Structure 1
Amino acid sequence: MTHDAMRLKCDLLIVGAGPAGMSAAIEARAAGLEVVVADEGEAPGGQIYRNATQSPLADAHVLGDDYLAGRALIGRFAASGAKHLARCVVWQIAFENRQVIAMLTRSLHGEQGGGTLEVAARAVLVATGAQERPWPVPGWTLPGVMGIGAAQTLLKSAGLAPSNEAVLAGCGPLLWLFASQLLNSGRGVRAIIDTTPPDAWRAALPHALPALAGADYLLKGVRMMRAVKRAGIAVHRGASAFSIEGEGRAERVRFVDGHGAPQSIDTPLVLLHQGVIPSTQLPRSLGCAHEWDASSACWRPRTDARGRSSLDHVWIAGDGAGIGGAKAAAHAGSLAALDIARELGVLDAPSRDARSRPALRALKRHLAVRPLLDALYTPPAALRRPADDVTVCRCEEISAGEIRRIASLGCQGPNQMKAFSRCGMGPCQGRWCGTTVSELIAQVQNRTVGEVGYYRIRAPIKPVTVEEIAESIALDNDFTRGEFPS
């Protein structure tokens, strides 16, 4: 590995130090590759294992055995010899002379050594994980409303737990996991509002038998739900027509329960969750092909079984390639690294295949439960396509009604919608509205979401300053600054 001023060279650049990124780095180093891992976190682990080795909690066991199991993986990653760049934002990746050229901005919170860094690699593995699915409901932009994933990040990174007055609303495994973690830490929950449709089990039933291969996941879910029941927390199942109200901040939630009765709960803190979806911004900016996955109602990059994308030199692994959970992500990262080692010539095909077999078997087992969970917890269209008066683009304050109105005029897709309304042009760059915008256009025009498409993502894919961009521009020795026109 060479280091020239603010430039690095390596065989493999991995973006993301979660389970997939760490496992890939371990496997790639074992094969003899020089590896750089860039991650935005303070320490390796990703969201699932955030601060697993240095938890601010007095007793990290409250977060569960799965969380603590991440310590072993983090230890192996630290000992692998991969170069870990913490607090790094990858804001551009381009291709030049059969190399991957990535621009990174490193923040050291005022310390020396930050700035812009260029990494040249022979291959890149995108392991950026997942993001929470946006759930636009009335009042979701009020202060006092946040995602359960964000609340869990505060618990893991700073030991901050919400008050006992919090209401958890939505569906999916994280809803119950976070509730059980709060109970373990001595906190309570005001209520859980479960929006899983009462008849969702009918769609899930055909997947029940294959899911038994991952029975341990099902048992964990049952244990978490039992813990909530033993704690006496009110659980409202089959909820619909959910909204948040308040003057200047969240004050109450309203919904219709599974029996059709209107309900209201006073609360200053509402935590929302409707599952997670792949984070696709980086591979989209590279031009990787994506497809709409109707079974889980989200976009996912098109990859083969080893994580190879539609572009040469680019692999994608972990939840960023399709939601499978931490253990599946780790095995997917190993498989991708072995395939990269084969592509770069340090492993032959028989060696790659032999080393891949255990990971392939394990990956199949850990993914066995996914069709059942997708059928059970993928929110129905009514929850994904809000009413006209609901804000969809939080950055530019564009409502669902405005998006539907423009779509009815013949707007062909999200990129034209962006030009007409500025929807998707804010700091989040479409992360929190893109999926909803595609679905609303498809609804109005009676097209499939796959036909409508998604935003065209351009660099910088994360907000950076002009100074940081300027630092990335190489200047010749004979460069002279011209006069600015008067």
Structure 2
Amino acid sequence: MIKDLQSAADLAPAYDLVVVGAGPAGLSAAIEASAHGLAVLLADENEAPGGQIYRAVERASDADRARMGPDYAAGRMLIERFRRADLSYARRATVWSVGPADEETGDGAHALEVTISLGGTARPIAAHRVILATGALERPFPFPGWTMPGVMTAGAAQILMKSSGLVPSGRTILAGAGPLLYLLASQLLRAGVSVTAVIDTTPAGNWRSALPHLLGFAASPYALKGLKLLLDVHRRTRVIRGVTALKAVGSGQFSALRVRRGNKSMHIEGDLLLLHQGIAPNLNLTLAAGCDYVWDERLAAFRPTVDGRGASSVPGVSIAGDAAGIVGAVASAHQGELAGLSAALDLNRIGQAAYQQRRNQLARKLARALRGRAFIEHRFRPGKRFRVPEDDGTIVCRCEEITAGKLREVAALGVPGPNQMKAFTRCGMGPCQGRLCGLTAVELLAQCRGVAPGEVGYYRLRPPIKPVTLGELAALPHTEAAIVAVAGFVERAADGAQDIINGSQQ
């Protein structure tokens, strides 16, 4: 049975493996590693395991599971396996730092240190291995009016449905691209929501690049599911394809969506606008840990560089699931298992022959789960005009209210990358730490400079990657190095912090 930890005082000083994130990848990694005898800690920000895809599935009613679909209901079996595993589980915990163990406080045996806030207190935890399974984020979707009241993301609407059973009561419009857009439309329609229209912004030219991958998609489990989903949505509501421009309008509140399709314009009235144009790997903790990353042109996003076992460029740190590249729930689970298995091998908890046999089995399952992904990525790749706003008045950074025009002005000064742009404008400096603007800012700067986004690079991220209170920081163990750093002393204080304080007053 899992050990449900409630406060930082319940945490052990060290673990063989720390897994961050309780979605399909994190749950599977923790289960696999614990089955081989590793002391595992799974830390997650949410109230219950499941991540976004399986959010609240444990307490969902039969009606809720029927409305959300069979893929959602399948998560209950994974969580039941997790509940039976012998490991530690820290829910409502924030992991805000991963890095090499501190030479002064480390025990010399554990290579990594993970800092966790739990129950209002922060603690550094030593670990032999860390698996980052932080999932994905919805891609920014900047266009005029996207920040006004009455406009929200499809993912946010799904969270409300799964966690609280809340659905929109008024006329609802969905706009964007990607399979989730149609999945949410189908779920809302089954819940009795008035879906006025689904506005599809997928570029028509995507078919050309997707066509070579059609056979692989046809042989995958995605094909039949996707066809049924599209037919269901087309049968029950209006679908408008080939859209080339959007504008949300209203007097202090969203009231209508202006749509342009070639030379034709439309005005669609509604009470709520839900936006989605795909997802991208959640990079903040990965990059703050120092992991290398690359620009993936097919995803139109950055992703960390990992090998076949999920190992990153940082020794001891692995990345699994959508955090390493968008692969879907089933493939994420198999990647998590592979990462957990590799941790067991590295820590000598499984022999090479048994490891290879299990690895081959998981690799075959992963290959089947990935079949058809190439078609999906090409077919639903969001268009450039919806990734980089053409209107200079469009807000890019919601936290600091920085517009595309302001970023173009700064780009014209010759700034080499997004970190310099951040210094000039504060874009990416708000509470979200670039999660809602990073990709847009990078692509906009790359466009202005006439280079690829990979050449521009991403924000330089440092811990803490999430807001941390002064109380949490004050609760951290006070090392001599920390006291010296604050007080300004170089020599060792013989009698501890009080002598340093007294000495500073002389």
Please tell me the TM-score bracket, short chain as reference. Answer: over 0.9
Cα offset, 1:392, TM superposition: 0.5
* 1:403 has 2:407 as partner: yes
CA distance in 1, matches of 2:15, 2:214: 45
Cα offset, 1:103, TM superposition: 1.4
Which runs of 5 or more structure 2 residues have no equivalent in the other structure? 102-107, 481-494
CA distance in 2, matches of 1:350, 1:130: 34
**C-alpha spacing 1:227/1:5, structure 2 compared with 1 (3 Å):** closer
* 1:482 has 2:501 as partner: yes
* 1:312 has 2:312 as partner: no
Aligned residues of 2:172 and 2:193 also touching (Cα < 8 A)? no
Moved more, 468-477 or 90-99: 468-477
How do residues 75-474 of structure 1 correspond to structure 2 at under 5 angstroms?
Answer: 75-96=80-101, 97=108, 98-107=110-119, 114-214=120-220, 216-231=221-236, 233-257=237-261, 260-387=263-390, 388-474=392-478
What residue number does 1:65 align with?
70
CA distance in 2, matches of 1:164, 1:340: 50
Cα offset, 1:485, TM superposition: 7.6
**C-alpha spacing 1:170/1:323, structure 2 compared with 1 (3 Å):** same
Cα offset, 1:451, TM superposition: 0.7
Cα offset, 1:56, TM superposition: 6.6
**2:415 partner letter:** C
**C-alpha spacing 1:164/1:229, structure 2 compared with 1 (3 Å):** farther
CA distance in 1, matches of 2:277, 2:285: 23
What residue number does 2:483 align with?
none
**C-alpha spacing 1:5/1:340, structure 2 compared with 1 (3 Å):** closer
**2:443 partner letter:** E
Cα offset, 1:6, TM superposition: 5.7
What residue number does 1:11 align with?
16
**2:496 partner letter:** D
**C-alpha spacing 1:260/1:163, structure 2 compared with 1 (3 Å):** farther
- Structure 2 residue aligned with 1:25, among 30, 37, 43? 30
**C-alpha spacing 1:228/1:5, structure 2 compared with 1 (3 Å):** closer
Cα offset, 1:164, TM superposition: 4.2
The SS at the match of 2:37 is coil
Cα offset, 1:323, TM superposition: 0.3
What residue number does 1:111 align with?
none
Cα offset, 1:69, TM superposition: 0.6
CA distance in 2, matches of 1:330, 1:88: 21
Cα offset, 1:305, TM superposition: 1.1
CA distance in 1, matches of 2:10, 2:267: 60
Cα offset, 1:431, TM superposition: 0.7
Cα offset, 1:348, TM superposition: 2.8
Aligned residues of 1:130 and 1:319 also touching (Cα < 8 A)? yes
- Listed one character per residue, the Cα deviations across residues 219-258 of structure 1 (whole Å, up to 9, x for unaligned) are 1111111111222x1111111111111121211110113x
- Listed one character per residue, the Cα deviations across residues 410-458 of structure 1 (whole Å, up to 9, x for unaligned) are 1000011111111110010111111111111111111111110000001
Moved more, 197-206 or 121-130: 197-206
- Listed one character per residue, the Cα deviations across residues 365-417 of structure 1 (whole Å, up to 9, x for unaligned) are 11121111111111121221102211111111111111111112110000111
Which runs of 5 or more structure 1 residues have no equivalent in the other structure? 108-113
Aligned residues of 1:56 and 1:157 also touching (Cα < 8 A)? no
Q: When the two structures are superposed, what TM-score results if normalisation uses the length of structure 2? A: 0.91
Cα offset, 1:115, TM superposition: 2.2
CA distance in 1, matches of 2:94, 2:152: 23
What residue number does 2:491 align with?
none
**C-alpha spacing 1:37/1:184, structure 2 compared with 1 (3 Å):** same
CA distance in 2, matches of 1:401, 1:218: 41
CA distance in 1, matches of 2:139, 2:478: 39
Cα offset, 1:5, TM superposition: 6.9
Moved more, 472-481 or 202-211: 472-481
Q: When the two structures are superposed, what TM-score results if normalisation uses the length of structure 1? A: 0.94
CA distance in 2, matches of 1:162, 1:120: 45
Count of residues in correspondence between the two structures: 477
- Listed one character per residue, the Cα deviations across residues 158-188 of structure 1 (whole Å, up to 9, x for unaligned) are 1111124110000100001111111222223
CA distance in 1, matches of 2:289, 2:124: 16
CA distance in 2, matches of 1:341, 1:402: 50
Aligned residues of 2:201 and 2:383 also touching (Cα < 8 A)? no
**1:222 partner letter:** L
Aligned residues of 2:206 and 2:381 also touching (Cα < 8 A)? no
Cα offset, 1:353, TM superposition: 1.4
The SS at the match of 1:53 is helix
Aligned residues of 2:65 and 2:73 also touching (Cα < 8 A)? yes
Aligned residues of 1:57 and 1:156 also touching (Cα < 8 A)? no
- Listed one character per residue, the Cα deviations across residues 131-170 of structure 1 (whole Å, up to 9, x for unaligned) are 1000111011101111101110110011111124110000
- Listed one character per residue, the Cα deviations across residues 267-305 of structure 1 (whole Å, up to 9, x for unaligned) are 121100000110010010011000000011000000011
CA distance in 2, matches of 1:16, 1:6: 17
The SS at the match of 1:190 is strand
Aligned residues of 1:278 and 1:321 also touching (Cα < 8 A)? yes
CA distance in 1, matches of 2:177, 2:67: 22
The SS at the match of 1:333 is helix
Cα offset, 1:4, TM superposition: 7.0
Aligned residues of 1:176 and 1:221 also touching (Cα < 8 A)? no
Cα offset, 1:105, TM superposition: 1.3
- Listed one character per residue, the Cα deviations across residues 184-226 of structure 1 (whole Å, up to 9, x for unaligned) are 2222311110011223211110111122331x21211111111
Cα offset, 1:60, TM superposition: 2.4
**1:207 partner letter:** H
**2:118 partner letter:** R
Cα offset, 1:475, TM superposition: 5.2
The SS at the match of 2:274 is strand
**C-alpha spacing 1:379/1:59, structure 2 compared with 1 (3 Å):** closer
CA distance in 1, matches of 2:94, 2:288: 15
